[in-house]
Amino acid sequence: MQPNDLRELPEEKPPAQTAGQLIPPLLEAVFVTGAAQWAQLPPLAPIEIAFAGRSNAGKSSAINALARRARLAFASRTPGRTQQINFFQMRCGAYAVDLPGYGYAAVTRQTKNVWQDFLWRYVTERQTLTALVLVADIRRGITDMDRPVLEVFLRSSRPVLLLATKSDKLNLQERRRALADIDRTLREYGDGCAAGVTVVEFSATARRGIEAADKVIAGWVA
Ligand SMILES: Nc1nc2c(ncn2[C@@H]2O[C@H](COP(=O)(O)OP(=O)(O)OP(=O)(O)O)[C@@H](O)[C@H]2O)c(=O)[nH]1
Ligand SMILES: [Mg+2]
């Protein structure tokens, strides 16, 4: 394309949709801090995007895949690995926030409650938390554990990117069925709500869905 051809592009087209030219928003993201309680949260960034999901769903791996880094966020086979809220700053200044997974059984009841309280407060009260990346194992789809956080975002009309991850574990037919199940679950919330959710079939391992996720996130931080 010649430089002059650029003038031919419709002006309203957001840069995030310019195929092949998008700089991944999490590229060169850097770890800022981890918080285990409210007082440890960093000063408000212009925008924060939280990665939430069940324990072991693949949140940290998704962040690494989007950042094109092997070990930015700490991913592990051991469930419950991410034990604090970890903040990564993108080039644009926005934070990508890796949340500890919910539903991890092997912690004491008391620890669990303190944790859930902190997480819940972060998700419901953090003023600059503008969007959610809900990471769900495609084989499980949207579970009852995902619903509270999903509903908080739907109710407040904040956008959601649902990464149906580990899709490398299923064949094509199983993936189609799983995605149809996810769509059905979302439609329970009504078409208006479901419209605020973008579903992307994802695999950190097979590097599937990464660019589609980049585009959604770029649209949020633009
Ligand atoms: N096959 C496959 N495995 C994955 C994928 N994403 C993550 N995993 C694996 O799933 C396990 C959990 O991944 P994490 O990224 O640590 O999951 P998490 O949601 O951050 O887990 P917690 O921090 O414990 O809540 C690890 O063994 C990963 O290698 C994927 O797309 N495909
Ligand atoms: Mg993690």
Q: Please give the number of the atom of ligand 1 that sits closest to the Cα of 77.
A: 27
Q: What pLDDT does 114 receive? A: 65
Position 17 pLDDT exceeds 50:
no
Please tell me the distance between residue 57's alpha carbon and the centre of ligand 1 in angstroms.
6
- For ligand 1, atom 8: residue with the closest CA: 58
Position 13 pLDDT exceeds 50:
no
153-171 confidence digits (pLDDT tens) = 999 999 999 999 999 999 9
Query: Concatenated DSSP letters for 32-54?
Result: EEEESSGGGSPSPPS-EEEEEEB
Q: Tokens 């949140």 belong to which residue?
A: 59
pLDDT: is 174 or 112 the higher one? 174
- For ligand 1, atom 1: residue with the closest CA: 166
User: What would the mean pLDDT of 117-137 be, rounded to a whole number?
Assistant: 94
In the predicted model, what is the mean pLDDT of the chain? 86
Q: What pLDDT does 106 receive? A: 54
pLDDT: is 22 or 12 the higher one? 22
Q: Please give the number of the atom of ligand 1 that sits closest to the Cα of 63.
A: 15
pLDDT: is 106 or 48 the higher one? 48
- Ligand 1 pocket, CB under 6 A: 53, 55-61, 75-77, 79-82, 100-101, 165-166, 168-169, 203-205
CA distance 32 to 17: 29
pLDDT: is 78 or 106 the higher one? 78
53-105 confidence digits (pLDDT tens) = 998 999 999 999 999 998 888 766 666 566 789 999 999 999 999 998 887 65
Q: What pLDDT does 2 receive? A: 41
Alpha helix positions (H), the chain: 59-67, 109-125, 147-155, 172-187, 191-194, 210-221
Q: Please give the number of the atom of ligand 1 that sits closest to the Cα of 53.
A: 19
- For ligand 1, atom 23: residue with the closest CA: 82
- For ligand 1, atom 14: residue with the closest CA: 58
Run of H or E including 30: strand 30-35
Q: What pLDDT does 113 receive? A: 65
> Which is nearest to 202 in space by CA: 192, 214, 210, 191?
210
